[in-house]
Amino acid sequence: MIHSSSRSSQRWIGVAIAFYAFIAIGIAEGGLGVLLPSILTEYSLTPASVTLLFVSQITGYILAAFTSSLVSSGLGLARMLLIAASTLTTALVIYAVSPVWWLMVAAGTLLGLGIGLIDAGVNTYIVQDEHGASLIGTLHGFYGVGALLGPAIATTLLTMSVTWRQVYGVLAGIVGLLILALLAVVIIRYPPMNVRGTAASESGSAAQNLGRSLQHPVVLLTGLLLLVYVGTEAAIGNWAYTVQSVGRNMPTMAAGYGVAAYWLGLTVGRFSLDYFLRRVGAVRMISLSLTLLLIGLLAWWQLPDQWLSLPLIGLALAAIFPATIWLIPKRLPAELVPGAISFSTSAASFGVAIIPTSAGWIANATSLEAIPVVMLPLAIAMILLHIWMVQRSPHKRLLV
């Protein structure tokens, strides 16, 4: 009994660190949207030129996608996460003190690498846990908590006349707590996070299965769907505050808390996902979410003075990513699943740079009001991709 209790306590140490790690990356990503107008002013940028910050992050995401399993295998998960947390914190510190715009752009690569390694490592750790199936939704819910806290903290501090650089200093301090937790895990040699060598021994078969999975239409469609989804989520999170405060002249506090409400809607949706998956089914859940997303985006475009559309959009987006990932094992042979998930999440990283950047260029050429309009065809594209995948999948296995 004591031994069992001890193992349970040890397992939850790792789970708690995983949850906080996702809060940390949520804070790092979510805070940018509120601070973007201040960065535009500080460096005399346009909505087009500031998108270099998004583009620079994609190199870090790509590097993480191709190296995370090798680094984890060679160093152990805990050391990889420690490196990732240190890299992410360093990027935020550079954001806070950078005297020139190009240094801040360069630091975006570090931010993307840190977030990418944490994302890959923590997801792998949770999935391999014996209770992983019930924890994965909660894990992504904690990302929503961080993404909600990021703009809320930034807005509160800005209204207290704290500069945007000082805000990044505060965010760096919050993320830096993860370094202390992981350092303790490395020092005490916490077993579940210090295992090495498993990935390397299977690298050959993994590469072969990745090649096979890329020949499967469902994998390609899933990757494209998640690219559009993650890009849409990031574009709204990054640009909504600027649209509301600069484009629509809303008060700073109202615009900032409106973005926080967007992330609150996503967080509530993620934490309640398991309940609805059991009762509605993943395919129907995605269908309902996409319908609600279309309604929310229409409201954001056509009713600029109301504030309910952003939390509604966040709620609509909540289920799409985790439910799509959850469906992959039901749509593919077991040996193709790891490669499919790896490709799909890597493709999603491209969306983080491509879609917010494209939205910025369009806004620069027209107006900030174009950004809500641009989101509508993206939602329609997701609906069409979802329908296409359902038609190519075995129906009887998907509505469970």
Please write the tens of the pLDDT for every residue from 180-214.
999 988 877 766 565 554 444 444 455 555 566 66
pTM comes to 0.77
Contact 290, 316 (CB under 8 A): yes
The least confident of 21-25, 214-218, 222-226, 296-300 is: 214-218
| Mean pLDDT score, 158-176 | 94
Backbone angles phi, psi at 99, to 5 degrees: -80, -20
Query: Whose CA is closest to 97, among 107, 86, 88?
Result: 107
Please name the residue ranges forming H helices in 332-369. Answer: 337-365
Host H or E run for residue 88: helix 77-97
Cα separation of 102 and 292, whole Å? 40
pLDDT attached to residue 396: 44
Residue 61 phi, psi (nearest 5): -60, -45
Identify the H or E element spanning 263.
helix 252-271
**Chain segment 73-93, per-residue pLDDT in tens:** 678 788 889 999 999 999 999
The reply to whether 204-393 shares the fold of 1-201 is yes
pLDDT at 193: 62
CA distance 379 to 219: 20
Report the CATH superfamily, name and number, of domain 204-393.
MFS general substrate transporter like domains (1.20.1250.20)
Confirm if 73 and 44 have CB atoms less than 8 A apart.
no
Calpha distance 233→236 (Å, rounded):
5
Least confident interval from 7-11, 217-221, 331-335? 7-11
Q: What is the pLDDT of residue 251?
A: 86
The larger pLDDT score, comparing residue 23 to residue 6, is at: 23
In sequence order, the 6+-apart residues with CB closer than 8 A to the CB of 227 are 347, 348, 350, 351, 354
Cα 224 from Cα 340, distance rounded (Å): 12
Q: For residue 102, which amino acid is it?
A: W
pLDDT over threshold 90, residue 320: yes
pLDDT in tens, 273-314: 878 877 888 899 999 999 999 999 999 999 887 778 999 999
How far is Cα 113 from Cα 224, in angstroms, rounded to an integer? 22
- The class (CATH top level) of 1-201 is mainly alpha
Whether 30 and 239 have beta carbons less than 8 Å apart is answered as: no
Dig out the tokens for 92 from the structure: 């935020």
pLDDT mean across residues, the chain = 83
Domain ranges of the chain: 1-201, 204-393
- Which residues have a Cβ under 8 Å from the Cβ of 15 and sit 6 or more positions away? 126, 129, 135
